[in-house]
Amino acid sequence: MSFKKRGYVVAQVTKKGEISLQKGHPWIYDAEVVSMDAQPTDGDIVDVISSKGRFIGSGFYNSNSKIRIRLISRNANDKFDEAFFERRIRYAWEYRKTVMGDDLDCCRIIFGEADTFPGLTVDKFHDILVTQTLSLGIEKRKDIIFPLLYKVLTEDGFEIRGIYERNDVKVRLLEGLEEGKGFYALPGVKTPESTSVDITENGIKYHVDFENGQKTGFFLDQKYNRLAAEKIAKGKRVLDCFTHTGSFALNAAKGGAEYVCAVDISQDAVDMAKRNAQMNCLADKMDFVCANVFDLLTSMTGKEGYDMIILDPPAFTKSRATVQSAIRGYKEINLRAMKLLPHGGYLATCSCSHFMTDELFDQMLHEAAADAHVSLRRIEYRQQAPDHPVLYNVPETEYLKFYLFQVV
């Protein structure tokens, strides 16, 4: 074969796998591995070649996962040492500084495959980094990567008190990893005692419980979508559904809404949203309701007088198998909201599921509008904030859809 072996196990892939890799996707599935010249240890780096022996890239191998190899490099000269990972971290951090400007109190620093760190998420919440590791290859190298994260940010003048691991997710089991959470022991750094921190986003303060909050503790991807909703909210009576920490509701109130009602099925979320409102001196024109949004929207009539409704539900589907059920759920809440809004009212609606594609979500909105006997004037279509970059040819990195409409 033409590829010069350089000490790693060499894996040859099918033509299908080769085409996918050439188009830019970094995953190689188990059925796409034709042969290996030796048996690698799970988590090791292997070199990947085509059927003709041409080098394609290098990646993490894991026999436990259907994603058998996750590419981390397409350069045959790369050496996967500390310097390699430091370059990657600096590259990701410089990108955030460019696209987020000075808005770095809270942001995503590493977004998995989009930053060529397969299976790794790193969020910055003021002076705490929260990580989630979903690949064995990264897990085996976190003692290199995590101290480098600390080094890069502190050398750039940012105080980092600690790194907290949020690995309490079942998908880790598919990689042969255990679940768990807790502070990572940084050499020479005292472990923080508290597992909460206050952040500032769009000029609004939030209390983040990064130990028990959803995902890594706070959803950063809607940052600029909240600003878009804020601009519309001035003088409006706003109903914020699935409020979670109250982020859309607080942006609406800050933007001059006449009144905001924030709703969530979780009492803990409602309490947190209320606390955040009080921390920002916005609670006087807000109410907080613990209720099932589906039931609430069904029971309401237009007499409640809302002229803006925000729908930011959790992902209704996390697999292709449940997409049809998710479509019905999205349609129901959007249909109810459209019926409740007056002529000239405003609707902000979202989906955070990769499997609920743009096409499916758009079709659902058309059908909901037809059933509600309304027309929609699209004001804006947005996606996730740029610190969650979409990597072309990796559709898994494109997931958030955000629409602003006027009902006409």
Query: Which residues are catalytically annotated?
Result: 352
Q: How far apart are CA 260 and CA 237, in angstroms?
A: 6
CB-side exposure of 404: number of CA atoms within 13 Å?
17
The number of residues making up the chain comes to 408
**Structure tokens of 328?**
């019905």
